[in-house]
A and B are shown apart, each in its own frame.
Chain A
Amino acid sequence: MAGYLLQRLVQAVIVVFAMSVIVFVGVYAIGNPIDVLIDPGATAEIRENLIRQYGLDQPLWRQYLVFLGNVAQGDMGTSMVYNIPVVDLVFSRLPATLELVLVSVCIATLIGIPAGLYAGYRPDSVGAKAIMALSVLGFSVPTFWIGMLLIMGFAVQLGWLPSGGRGDEGSILGLRTSLATADGWSHVIMPAINLSLFKMGLLIRLTRAGMVEAMSTDYVRFARAQGLPDRQIVFRHVLRNISIPIVTVFGLELGSTLAFAVVTESVFNWPGVGKLIIDSILQLDRPVMVSYLVLVVVLFVLINLTVDLVYARLDPRVRLRGEDA
């Protein structure tokens, strides 16, 4: 177990290294951030000073080494645009994204899994066919378009919900979050639904496929031959089996939603990290990009690790193989 965790940690460090090199080279190739940042009318002297201040006069490999040295001292750099430490910047935006993702993942799970179970249990029913048709829409219609439709409908036409932004913060158990206030919920619900549709479609199809397959297995037939009612067969025999692939995909989706809620955050003007990364790419704010992507890598590693651990809990065959090793 400890060996496994250590192995995962080493892998994560290697990925972070590789990623930081790619981002450095990539951003260097895109253009000179000074051209974006500085007033075109500024004197050559100011320009030279600024370039030196950010270390942009150095060759790329030396800039990278300086960056590594700073990171080793716990300094991820300072945003060129906001002029505050990037760590503070990213973490000030992270709660907003976490809220949005949490709500959307809950919606996707609470609707997607029961709907998928039903569609797989009665695959020929009208309800199941309707669910499947909706699930196709869920992941084939572009997110931004549905987002705009939602705004048109519920914010502009009906005026029920605000069109964008994040609501007032309150506090739950000492955590500052907009989920503590009604105003916060009215702001989060629409972007969260928008963000959940793709995942919901995916979960529905995955759950349905697992359910259809499981219902024709021998262990289900054996359970039926023992006189178990279908409810018990579905929830005690089948759900546990099909949750293995579901957890895997759920984990991957959670990671990519956290990292790339970009489109929804832009459409709904949600002040999360997705919006931050888009802004910093436009402004070539390299320190923000690098530290954000490091955060993404760390998140993915953590999520995958959790998925592996859950996996081992769910499937006894995995558990024992791990213990033998």
Chain B
Amino acid sequence: MIPALEVRGLTTRFATRAGPVTAVDGVSFSVAPGRILGLVGESGSGKSVTGFSVLGLIDAPGEIVAGHVLVEGEDMRTMSPEAQRRMRGRKVAMVFQDPMMTLNPVLRVGDQMAMAVRVHDRVSKAAAWDRARAALEIVGIPAPAERLRAYPHQLSGGMRQRVAIATALLHRPSVIIADEPTTALDVSIQGQILSEVRRLADETGTAIVWVTHDLAVVSSLADDICVMYAGRIVESGTAEEVIARPRHPYTWGLIQSVPGLHSPGEKLPQIPGSTPQLSRLPSGCAFRTRCPRATALCETVPPDLGEGARRVLCHHPLEAS
């Protein structure tokens, strides 16, 4: 089966005063239809930039310098800008972090969604509104016809995020990049959205790349996990394997610092230090300055260990027990 999305060696660089900074460094992953991939990392790890790079939405001073983005086997990177634009929204869609900001405050929800319909399909305004209403129904919004006539500020945050997801679903895309879509929401709303998303992926066959810093969310939602650190994917595998048997010390550290795993009152373990600045990355393994297992060997580029979809980029991985 052709993956819904396959990313190979994607590299995005930003020109800064301190010289070029590589925010996404040779990132590769693939998602099959109906699967959910969790792209996990701390802020500044390049996970959001990866999402935008997939859509080709990197503005100057940023530039995608290498790699391939295959959507249903078609390489977005070799297409003309106009052809890329026609892929966006139709084949590959995106949902953003802050639902308060993603909708235009001065346009009705229905007008915004109808615009998104009509940009790819030549249908009448009425037909576009009908499709928008149907999309709202799919994401579980009650009284969708009324919501269409509302302005964004009249809807709650959770409702707006559902509208954004419905908008992303309008053209039944092969893949949706969801950039921390539940981070800004209440925990109860977050749970509802997560289960809706899981259901949508199963029912519509849309593949989802769920970008997040929240390992707890991903472990319950995703089929597969990629862990990003300083622009690179340092570990990947099925969600079960990565959570149960992490092999990269960074992944292990992340899992240890999830509060739910510990008994009350116990001190939470933390990863020492903070994410390095991309302009001043340590040579070799970027994690070595914070890593308890680091040795002199880590100053050289770590090898890609593992096989198939289960990979880890490390000189001293934890045992694959």
Task: State whether A241 touches B57 (Cβ < 8 A).
Answer: no
Kindly identify which residue among A219, A229, A314, A315 contacts B103, using a CB–CB cutoff of 8 Å.
A219
Task: State whether B115 touches A227 (Cβ < 8 A).
Answer: no
Complex interface bits, A210-252 against B, C-beta within 8 A gives 1, otherwise 0:
0000000111011111111100100011001100100000000
Which residues of chain B are near A222, meaning CB under 8 Å? 94, 96, 102-103, 164, 167
Assess whether B72 is interfacial by the CB under 8 Å rule.
no
Task: State whether A227 touches B94 (Cβ < 8 A).
Answer: no
Task: State whether A219 touches B101 (Cβ < 8 A).
Answer: yes
| CB proximity of A308 to chain B, nearest CB, Å | 16
A314/B106 contact (C-beta < 8 A), A227-B88, A228-B116, A229-B119 known: yes
Interface of A is mostly: helix
Closest to A236 in B: B115
Which residues of chain B are near A232, meaning CB under 8 Å? 115, 119
Task: State whether B104 touches A226 (Cβ < 8 A).
Answer: no
A225/B93 contact (C-beta < 8 A), A219-B102, A316-B105, A317-B105 known: yes
Which residues of chain A are near B42, meaning CB under 8 Å? none
Which residues of chain A are near B94, meaning CB under 8 Å? 222, 225
CA distance A218 to B99 in the complex (A): 9
Closest to A229 in B: B85
Task: State whether B107 touches A226 (Cβ < 8 A).
Answer: no
Kindly identify which residue among A124, A218, A226, A315 contacts B88, using a CB–CB cutoff of 8 Å.
A226
Task: State whether A221 touches B105 (Cβ < 8 A).
Answer: no
Which residues of chain B are near A244, meaning CB under 8 Å? 106
Which residues of chain A are near B86, meaning CB under 8 Å? 227
Closest to A239 in B: B106
Which residues of chain B are near A225, meaning CB under 8 Å? 55, 57, 88-89, 93-94, 96, 168
Closest to A216 in B: B59
Complex interface bits, B97-125 against A, C-beta within 8 A gives 1, otherwise 0:
01001111111100000011001100000
| CB proximity of A305 to chain B, nearest CB, Å | 21
Assess whether B87 is interfacial by the CB under 8 Å rule.
yes
Kindly identify which residue among B88, B101, B107 contacts A237, using a CB–CB cutoff of 8 Å.
B107
Task: State whether B101 touches A227 (Cβ < 8 A).
Answer: no
CA distance A240 to B167 in the complex (A): 21
Complex interface bits, A40-66 against B, C-beta within 8 A gives 1, otherwise 0:
000000000000000000000000000
Closest to B170 in A: A226
CA distance A317 to B110 in the complex (A): 17
Task: State whether B102 touches A218 (Cβ < 8 A).
Answer: yes
Which residues of chain B are near A226, meaning CB under 8 Å? 88-89, 93, 115-116, 119, 167-168
| CB proximity of A321 to chain B, nearest CB, Å | 10
Task: State whether B106 touches A241 (Cβ < 8 A).
Answer: yes
Assess whether B153 is interfacial by the CB under 8 Å rule.
yes
CA distance A222 to B93 in the complex (A): 9
CA distance A235 to B119 in the complex (A): 14
Which residues of chain A are near B90, meaning CB under 8 Å? 227
| CB proximity of B227 to chain A, nearest CB, Å | 25
| CB proximity of B71 to chain A, nearest CB, Å | 13
Assess whether B29 is interfacial by the CB under 8 Å rule.
no
A241/B115 contact (C-beta < 8 A), A226-B167, A227-B86, A227-B120 known: no
Assess whether B252 is interfacial by the CB under 8 Å rule.
no
A221/B119 contact (C-beta < 8 A), A240-B107, A316-B153 known: no
Task: State whether A221 touches B96 (Cβ < 8 A).
Answer: yes
CA distance A227 to B154 in the complex (A): 26
Which residues of chain B are near A314, meaning CB under 8 Å? 106
CA distance A244 to B106 in the complex (A): 10
Closest to A214 in B: B104
Kindly identify which residue among B89, B98, B106, B151 contacts A227, using a CB–CB cutoff of 8 Å.
B89
Task: State whether A227 touches B85 (Cβ < 8 A).
Answer: yes
Task: State whether A218 touches B98 (Cβ < 8 A).
Answer: yes
CA distance A224 to B94 in the complex (A): 10
Which residues of chain B are near A223, meaning CB under 8 Å? 104, 115-116
Which residues of chain A are near B102, meaning CB under 8 Å? 218-219, 221-222
| CB proximity of A227 to chain B, nearest CB, Å | 3
| CB proximity of A322 to chain B, nearest CB, Å | 14
Closest to B103 in A: A219
Complex interface bits, B69-99 against A, C-beta within 8 A gives 1, otherwise 0:
0000000000000000111111001101010
| CB proximity of A126 to chain B, nearest CB, Å | 15
Task: State whether A237 touches B57 (Cβ < 8 A).
Answer: no
| CB proximity of B192 to chain A, nearest CB, Å | 21
Task: State whether A316 touches B106 (Cβ < 8 A).
Answer: yes
- State which residues 219-250 of B face A: CB under 8 Å: none
CA distance A232 to B88 in the complex (A): 15
CA distance A203 to B104 in the complex (A): 23
Kindly identify which residue among B87, B88, B115 contacts A224, using a CB–CB cutoff of 8 Å.
B88
Which residues of chain B are near A224, meaning CB under 8 Å? 57, 88
Task: State whether B57 touches A221 (Cβ < 8 A).
Answer: yes
24 sampled A-B residue pairs with Cβ under 8 A: A218-B96, A218-B98, A218-B101, A219-B102, A219-B104, A221-B57, A222-B103, A223-B115, A224-B88, A225-B89, A226-B88, A226-B167, A227-B85, A227-B88, A236-B107, A236-B115, A237-B107, A240-B104, A240-B106, A241-B104, A315-B106, A317-B151, A320-B151, A320-B153
The 6 closest A-B pairs by CB, nearest first: A227-B89, A226-B89, A227-B88, A218-B101, A225-B94, A316-B151
With A223-B116, A225-B94 known, 11 other A-B pairs at CB within 8 A are A217-B101, A222-B167, A225-B96, A225-B168, A226-B88, A226-B115, A226-B116, A226-B168, A227-B116, A241-B105, A320-B153
